Chains A and B, each alone.
Chain A
Amino acid sequence: AQSVTQPDIHITVSEGASLELRCNYSYGATPYLFWYVQSPGQGLQLLLKYFSGDTLVQGIKGFEAEFKRSQSSFNLRKPSVHWSDAAEYFCAVGATSSASKIIFGSGTRLSIRP
């Protein structure tokens, strides 16, 4: 069965420090992969996506993610976090069928220490 695991429920990092949020997926073929961010009380906004090609993808707000097929991972990174990055982050996996659902991880809440 398809699944997405975000092993960290809550992470706190200092402003200016680097960040890595982990995401592992279980899927039978090469999936489409997404990272979304949700600010408090808001909907989800797409940060970046991987469909094919270069396994290192750049997104908005200075985020990047790397697809590692051998590890079934799609970790999100940012070299230097800002206080405005405090939010909840969701990893998601989608199939190549247009009628399929996207499966979301349970989310990682990011707090920023001043």
Chain B
Amino acid sequence: DVKVTQSSRYLVKRTGEKVFLECVQDMDHENMFWYRQDPGLGLRLIYFSYDVKMKEKGDIPEGYSVSREKKERFSLILESASTNQTSMYLCASRGGVDTQYFGPGTRLTVL
């Protein structure tokens, strides 16, 4: 069965902290994605990666960076967390043009 896992379901951090959100997929997919989801705004793409060490900016990359050192793992980094980054973060992976599979999400609160 397809599996995308995220390191934490809930996370609380302080303003200015460096935050790492980890995502792992077990489907050998080339493409991986990070979204944030806020009420009334739907899913907004932060970054995506179509291969190891490759990344592309999505619609809202400011304040975020990513890392993909291994095919199965895609990390989202908040260099200096701010309160406006409080959100639900969703990771997804996709093989070719087929279905995109999502992880359960990480609800991040920045105080």
Contact = CB atoms under 8 A, between A and B. Distances in A.
A70 interface: no
B105 A42 contact: yes
Interface stretch (A18-26, A79-87, A92-100): A92-100
A43 B97 contact: no
B99 A101 contact: no
A43 B58 contact: no
Contact of A90 (B41, B43, B104, B107): B43
Nearest to A42: B104
Contacts of A11: none
A96 B103 CA distance: 23
Given A44-B90, A44-B102, A46-B101, A101 B42 contact: no
B98 to A, nearest CB: 8
B94 interface: yes
Nearest to B6: A43
Contact of A43 (B41, B48, B96, B103): B103
A98 B51 CA distance: 11
B50 interface: yes
A101 B43 contact: no
B6 to A, nearest CB: 8
Lowest 9 CB-CB distances: which A-B pairs, in order?
A106-B42, A43-B102, A44-B102, A98-B96, A104-B43, A43-B104, A99-B50, A43-B105, A98-B97
12 contacts: A34-B100, A43-B103, A46-B100, A51-B97, A94-B97, A97-B97, A98-B97, A100-B97, A104-B42, A104-B43, A106-B41, A107-B42
Interface of B: 4, 30-31, 33, 40-43, 45, 48, 50, 58, 90, 92, 94, 96-97, 99-105, 107
